[in-house]
Chain A
Amino acid sequence: MNNLVEIKDLAKTYHTKKEDVEAICNISLDIKEGEFIAIVGSSGCGKSTLLSILANLEDKSKGEINFHKKDFVIGYMLQNDCLFDWLTILDNATLGLDIKKKKTKENIDYVERLLKTYDLESFKDKYPKELSGGMKQRTALIRTLAIRPDILLLDEPFSALDYQTRLAVSDDVYKIIKKEHKTVIMVTHDLAEAISLADRVVVLSKRPCHIKKIYEIKLTNKSNPIENRKAKEFSEYYDKIWQDLDVVI
């Protein structure tokens, strides 16, 4: 498959009054079309910074990011759903279109279809406070999908949910992403989540972070994330990655 995004020697240094803090040093990574990549690393290692740079929210200090497509659209999903309390679910889902001034009939129809497919149609005139945590997260995903992104950047997308909901929602989100054939980069600190969802897991070192290892996740009978956790290779990957992270308590 073709490379969709190529990251070359990316580096990021923060300049504070006292000193220069190196957050990311020389990261190179190719992302193929349709691939699901999970990035793991200890907290504060700069993995979220990496996503922020990709999402154009922060400037890089060095290196190159090449998008192999014209008018590349990025969908960025944050830790909490960030739904606006004063907008209905439909208005929340079309927020991105509204901002980009692409609220055409065709695009709204697309969002309505997404809401219908993912069981939110009857809630489209309701407000976020009337929805469960999982439904809110699904709305947030549809808001991200509405702008038809070429790549989805997920920054710990499930960390605000409790454990059970988290499993169910990650399963849900995975199915939606696969069905819509999206390329994904997900940052997480949950190893099990990374292994069960991703095609490749990128392990980052401690700050300043560079790529320590990349695992191709090959599970027997790979299906949905919850089933994947039962695969016999699962725990092997888990142990290896855990050791790579080199956690000091």
Chain B
Amino acid sequence: MSIMIKSGKTSMSSFKKEKRFNLLVLITQISIIVIFLILWELLTRWQVLNSFIFSSPSLILKTIKDLLINGNLLNHILTTFIETAIAFILGIVLGLIFAIIMYSFKFIAKVCDPFLTLINSLPKVALGPILIIWIGANTKSIIVMALLINLIVSIITIYNGFLNIDNNKIRLLKSLGATKGQILRKLIIPASLQTILSSLKLNISMSLIGVIMGEFLVSKEGLGYLIMYGTQVFNLNLVMSGIVLLLIFSYILYKLISLLEHKLLK
């Protein structure tokens, strides 16, 4: 009897335990950030770290405030956002189209396979200088740069998602006399929603890498430009601020995609 009561108690508190565990994780995570920031601030104030090279939280905050008031910070963020959005949307649309073509025509898929692997393994950044010469030092080469980075990955992820669909379901539709188009519309695309959505997540980070890379190379605006400009004039406060802003920016984009995924998969 006493054993039964005991076991009842444990199962009750195991839920509580989990809650406490999660809370502990969160508190630890926040503490790490706070301690890191305080340590950084104090070490630079005590001149253990050179604030000219390492900047400091307060200097970064001040720089961001100045940028907001005097500089055109919102313009920079908007530029990076528009470039990323265009590359992202192009990447996902073209990726989906290419994946559908490859799935529909086995011949094309077979022919393309080694080329995709080849291009995928090439560090696309290496193409940057050529892009500038071919397309020019403008927004277009930034977007092409980002597209080069995100497109191949999107194609491969979505195409593999298509290939993983339960063969029995395809057989079922075939036995009902479905055409290729019907199989694609009724089964392949809806069944791949999960894969397509996770490729969105991958795509957004890839797009951002490409855009920042492109901005390093050519731009006159954007967060990547801020970082590059800061390095050139040796204003490390500006560089650090750019990185912090980029961190927040990319986190928000990622969260937006997660939110979308959550909504669509419900």
Residues of chain A whose beta carbon lies under 8 Å from any beta carbon of chain B: 55-57, 74, 76, 78-80, 82, 84-86, 95-96, 98-100, 147
Which secondary structure characterizes the binding site on chain B? helix
Is the beta-carbon distance between B168 and A99 smaller than 8 angstroms?
no
The size of the chain B interface, using a CB distance under 8 A, is: 17
What residues of chain B lie closer than 8 Å to A100, measured between beta carbons? Answer: 176-177
Which residues 160-201 of B have a CB within 8 angstroms of A?
Answer: 166, 168-169, 171-178, 182, 186-187, 190-191, 193
A-B contact pairs, 12 of them (CB 8 A): A57-B174, A76-B172, A76-B175, A78-B168, A80-B168, A84-B186, A86-B193, A96-B176, A98-B186, A99-B173, A100-B176, A147-B176
* Complex Cα gap A237–B64 (Å): 86
What residues of chain A lie closer than 8 Å to B177, measured between beta carbons? Answer: 99-100
Is the beta-carbon distance between B175 and A56 smaller than 8 angstroms?
yes
Is the beta-carbon distance between B186 and A74 smaller than 8 angstroms?
no
Interface string of B208-239 (1 = CB under 8 A from A): 00000000000000000000000000000000
Residues of chain B whose beta carbon lies under 8 Å from any beta carbon of chain A: 166, 168-169, 171-178, 182, 186-187, 190-191, 193
* Complex Cα gap A82–B187 (Å): 11
What residues of chain A lie closer than 8 Å to B190, measured between beta carbons? Answer: 84, 86
* Complex Cα gap A243–B224 (Å): 78
Is the beta-carbon distance between B169 and A99 smaller than 8 angstroms?
no
Interface centre among A98, A99, A100 (most CB of B within 10 A): A99
* Complex Cα gap A57–B177 (Å): 9
Is the beta-carbon distance between B193 and A78 smaller than 8 angstroms?
no
Measured CB to CB, the nearest residue on chain B to A101 is B182
What residues of chain A lie closer than 8 Å to B176, measured between beta carbons? Answer: 76, 95-96, 99-100, 147
B188 to chain A: closest CB distance in Å? 11
Measured CB to CB, the nearest residue on chain B to A56 is B175
Is the beta-carbon distance between A82 and B169 smaller than 8 angstroms?
yes
Measured CB to CB, the nearest residue on chain B to A51 is B175
* Complex Cα gap A231–B46 (Å): 94
Is the beta-carbon distance between B166 and A82 smaller than 8 angstroms?
yes
What residues of chain B lie closer than 8 Å to A80, measured between beta carbons? Answer: 168
Is the beta-carbon distance between B175 and A95 smaller than 8 angstroms?
no
Residue of B174, B175, B187 touching A84 (CB-CB under 8 A): B187
Measured CB to CB, the nearest residue on chain B to A55 is B175
Is the beta-carbon distance between A74 and B169 smaller than 8 angstroms?
no
* Complex Cα gap A80–B169 (Å): 9
A-B contacts besides A80-B168, A95-B176, 10 pairs, CB < 8 Å: A55-B175, A74-B175, A78-B168, A78-B171, A82-B166, A84-B186, A84-B190, A86-B191, A95-B186, A96-B176
A143 to chain B: closest CB distance in Å? 9
* Complex Cα gap A147–B182 (Å): 17
Measured CB to CB, the nearest residue on chain A to B175 is A76
Is the beta-carbon distance between A82 and B168 smaller than 8 angstroms?
yes
Interface centre among A74, A76, A82 (most CB of B within 10 A): A82
* Complex Cα gap A78–B186 (Å): 18
Measured CB to CB, the nearest residue on chain B to A140 is B172
What residues of chain B lie closer than 8 Å to A96, measured between beta carbons? Answer: 176
* Complex Cα gap A147–B176 (Å): 9
* Complex Cα gap A74–B175 (Å): 8
Is the beta-carbon distance between B168 and A84 smaller than 8 angstroms?
no
* Complex Cα gap A96–B178 (Å): 9
* Complex Cα gap A99–B173 (Å): 8
